[in-house]
A and B are shown apart, each in its own frame.
Chain A
C-alpha cells in the first residue's frame, strides 16, 4: 500500500535537511578534527626544526679537517677523525658481542625454549629493554673496576655497556622475524630427515635473513649515538686510539658533548664542531634506518 503521506512529505520543507545535524554537533566535530590535525602538525614541528637547525649549524663545522684530523694538541682547530674512528670501533665491538648472543638467544626462545628457563628469559629481556643507558654504563664500569681497579677507562668497556642496551633489541626483533617463518617449512625439512640444527641454519635462518639483518641495523642505529654510558666508561680523549683494550676512546656523541661542555678559548669553533658531529650522527642514523628498510625489501623471501 502506497504511503498516503507522500503528498504531505512534499508539502513540507526538506526533512533531510531539517533532521540533520544541529550546529552544535557539527561544530564539535569540526573543532575536534581540527585539534587532532593540529596536534599532528605540532608533533611534526620539532622534527623539522631539529633537522633544519642541525643542518644549518652543522654545515659550517664540516670540513676536510673535520674528517681527517684528530684534536690532539690543537687549540681551536683539529677535527673529529678520532671520534669517527672511535664510533666505528666501539659500535663494531658492541655488535660483535651482541649479535651472536642475541640471535642465539632468539633461536633458543623461538626454537628450543620450554618451561621455566624460557619464561625467565622472556621476562628478563623485558627488564633489559628498560635499563637506563647510564645504568648500563655504570655496570660496565663496576665490572671492570673490580678486575682492573678504579679509574679504568677502556674502549671495550663502552662496547660492553652498549651491548647491554643492544642485546634486548636484537633479541626482540630476531624473535619476531623467526616467529614469522611458518612451521610448515620446518616440518617439511624434518620430514626429509634433516636434523634440527641443520633445519635452523639452512632453512629458518636464510628465510629470516633479511629481517635479521634489518633488526641488527636498527639496533646499531639506536646505540651509535649513545653518550651517557660512554661518559662513564670510555671517557674523553683527544687523540686517535684504535686499540679498544688500551686507553680511552671517544665516539662522535661524546665528542659533540665535550666540544659543547669544554669549548676552550675559541667557543664558536668548538660549537660548530659539536653541531657538525651532531649532523654526522644524524646522517649515520638516517642512512642506517633507510638502508635497513631497503635491505629488507630487496632481500626478503616471500612466504606464500
Chain B
C-alpha cells in the first residue's frame, strides 16, 4: 500500500509533465499548418509573419503601457501600506488592493467600455489639444473611448495588485536595523525610505513588474471588449484606429473561423505563449538571483 501511494503521487507528477508536453505538442501540431501554408491562404493574404507582427506589436504595446502606469502606482501604494499607514489597518488595506485581483476580466471589460471609456473621452480631447505634438497623443481623439489608452489603463488596474503584493513583501522585509540606522542619523521618513527600503526592494519590484507584464500580455477579455480594432500599427494611444492584440484577435475571430484560419489563430497563440514564457522566466531568474545574495 505504501508503494502504491508513492506510485500514485509520482504518477500525478508525471501526468502534469505529460499534460504540458501534450499542450506543446498539440498546439504545435495544430499551428504548424499555418506556418507552412502559402501566404494567399492565410487571413490577410500576406503570410504568417505579416499576420502576426501587428498583433504582437499591439500585445506588447498594451502590456507595456499597462506596466508603465501600474508599476509606479503599485510601488507607491505598497510603500503606503508598509511605511506610512498606521500598522493596525495595514493588513486591511492590503486585502483591499488584493481584491482588485479577484474581479473577473469580463467585468473589467464591461467597466472599461461602459464606465471608464466615456469618462476618458474629455481627457483624451484635452490631451489631443494640449499635447498633440507628442506622437502618442496624435489624435483625433476617439469619441467612444475605445482606445489603446483606456485599454492600457484597465490592464494597469488589473496588474496593479500583483506588482503591489510583490513589492509589499519586499518592503516589509527591509531590515529594521538599517531603517533605524538611517533614522538615528536624522533622516526624515522619505529619506529613510529612499536610503534603505527602496534599494533593498529593487530587484523584487523588477521581478514583480515582469510578472505583471506577463499577466498583461496574456489578458484577453478586457482588451477584446474595449478596443476598437482596425489592425493599424500605430503608437497613437487616443485614436479610433488601434492595433489588436494576439489574445483579443483569437477571441474575436475564433468562433467564426474554420480551416486554415483556425490554424493561423492557434499559431499566433503559440507566439503569445512564447512571449509570456520568456517574460515569466526572466522574472523568476531575477527572484532567484536576489535570494542567493
> A contacts B directly in the complex (CB < 8 Å)?
yes
- Hey, which bits of chain A sit against chain B, CB under 8 A? 21, 25-26, 28-29, 32-33, 35-40, 42-44, 46-47, 49-50, 53-54, 57, 100-101, 104-105, 107-109, 111-113, 117-118, 120-121, 124-135, 138-139, 141-143, 145-146, 150-151, 164, 167, 171, 195-197, 200-201, 221-222, 224-228, 231-232, 235-236, 253, 256-257, 260, 271, 274-275, 278, 281-282, 285-286, 289
A132 close to B217 (CB less than 8 A): yes
What residue of chain A has the Cβ atom nearest to residue B161's Cβ? A43
Residue B293 is within 8 A (CB to CB) of chain A in the complex:
no
Q: Do most interface residues of chain A lie in helix, strand or loop, or is the interface mixed?
A: helix
What residue of chain A has the Cβ atom nearest to residue B59's Cβ? A132
Bound CA span A120–B281, Å:
14
B221 close to A28 (CB less than 8 A): no
B10 close to A164 (CB less than 8 A): no
B12 close to A32 (CB less than 8 A): no
Residues of B within 8 A of A138 (CB): 27, 30, 250, 265-266, 269
Residues of B within 8 A of A257 (CB): 106, 109, 221, 225
B103 close to A132 (CB less than 8 A): no
Residues of B within 8 A of A228 (CB): 105, 220-221, 224, 247, 250-251
Which 5 pairs of residues, A with B, have the shortest CB-CB distance?
A: A225-B104, A132-B218, A39-B76, A104-B12, A197-B5
How many chain B residues touch A (CB < 8 A): the figure is 87
B84 close to A37 (CB less than 8 A): yes
A131 close to B273 (CB less than 8 A): yes
Which of B1, B12, B247, B272 gathers most chain A CB within 10 Å?
B12
Residue contacts A-B, CB under 8 angstroms, 16 given: A39-B72, A40-B80, A44-B97, A47-B99, A108-B9, A111-B9, A113-B13, A117-B10, A117-B14, A130-B218, A131-B218, A138-B27, A142-B26, A142-B27, A232-B250, A286-B102
Residues of A within 8 A of B281 (CB): 127
Specify which of A145, A167, A200, A260 is in contact with B16 (CB 8 Å cutoff).
A167
Which of A141, A196, A201 gathers most chain B CB within 10 Å?
A141
Besides A39-B72, A47-B97, A227-B105, 8 new A-B residue pairs in contact (Cβ under 8 A), listed by A number: A40-B80, A54-B110, A105-B13, A112-B6, A124-B20, A134-B218, A151-B258, A225-B107
Q: Contacts A150-B262, A286-B102 given; indicate if A105 touches B110 (C-beta within 8 A).
A: no
A133 close to B104 (CB less than 8 A): no
Which of B104, B220, B272 gathers most chain A CB within 10 Å?
B104
A50 close to B255 (CB less than 8 A): no
Bound CA span A232–B249, Å:
12
B12 close to A105 (CB less than 8 A): yes
Q: Contacts A142-B27, A200-B5 given; indicate if A37 touches B16 (C-beta within 8 A).
A: no
